Amino acid sequence: MHKNQKSAKRNLLFGFAVSLSVLLVSSGISYFSISQLLDSQQLVEHTSQVKYTLDNLISVMKDAETGQRGYLLTGNDVFLEPYKGSKSKVMDLYMDAQHLTIDNQVQQKDFPQLEKLIQEKYSIIQKTIADKKDGIPPAVSTLIRGKEIMDSIRKMINIMNTREDELMILRNAKMNKFSALTPIFIAFAALLGMLVTVIFYRKIQQNNLVSFRLEQELSGKKKMVEHQIEVVSTVAQKISSGDYSVRIDKKDLQ
C-alpha cells in the first residue's frame, strides 16, 4: 500500500514536471514566433515608410519644377507657390529617408550624390526665376541641365525604391511564414499539453484503482483476522472455564 502511494506520488510529480516543461518550451517557441512576426511586420512597415518618404521627396521637387515652368512662361508669381518653401521640405524628407535607411549601407552610399543633385537643381530653379524677374530669358543650356538633373534624381529615387521593393518581398515572405507558423506552434503546444495531461491523468486513475483494490483486500483480511481472534478468544475462555472438549474448526476461522 505504502509502495503504491509512493508510486502514485512519483507519477504525479513526474507528470507535473513534464507538463510544466512542455508549457515552458511551448511558451518559449510561441514567444519567439510571435516576436519574429512582430519584427517582420515592423520591417515591412519601415520599408513602406522609406518608399513613402522618397516618393514624397520627388513629388515636392516635381511641384517646384512645375511652378518654375509656369512662372517662366507667364511671369505670374502665383505659379511660384509650389516652389516657395519646397527646398526646406525636400531637405527634411531627404534627412528622414537617410535616417530611415541608416542600417542599409547600399542605400546610404547614394545619399551624398542625391543631395548634390538636389542642391544643383534648386540652384538652377532659383537662377532662372531670378533671371526672369530681371527680364533675362533663361538659357536653353540651363534648362536642359535642369532637366538632366531632374531625370537623374528620378532615376536614383527609382533605384532606391526598387531596393526597398526587394526588401519588401523578403520581409513579406518572412512575415507570412511566421504568420502561418505561429498558430501551428500554439496549437501543437496546446495539443501536446493536453496529451501529457490525459496520459498522466490515466496513470493516476490506474494507481487510485490499484490502491482501492488493495484497501478492500486489506480490509477483508483485517476482518478475517479479527474474526479468528474472536474465535480463539471464545475457545480460550471455554477452556479456562474447564470445558476441554471444545475444538476449533477450520471453518470457524474463515
Domain residue limits, the chain? 2-199
Interhelix angle 111-133/86-100, rounded to 10 degrees, is 180
81 vs 37, more confident: 81
Which residue matches cell numbers 526587394? 166
For residue 1 the three cell numbers come to: 500500500
pLDDT tens figures, 229-252:
776 677 667 666 766 665 666 665
Residue 88 scores a pLDDT above 90? yes
Contact between 3 and 158 (Cβ < 8 Å): no
pLDDT band at 129 (very low <50, low <70, confident <90, very high): very high
Residues with Cβ within 8 Å of 131's Cβ and at least 6 positions away in sequence, in order, are 137, 138
Residue 247 has what pLDDT? 63
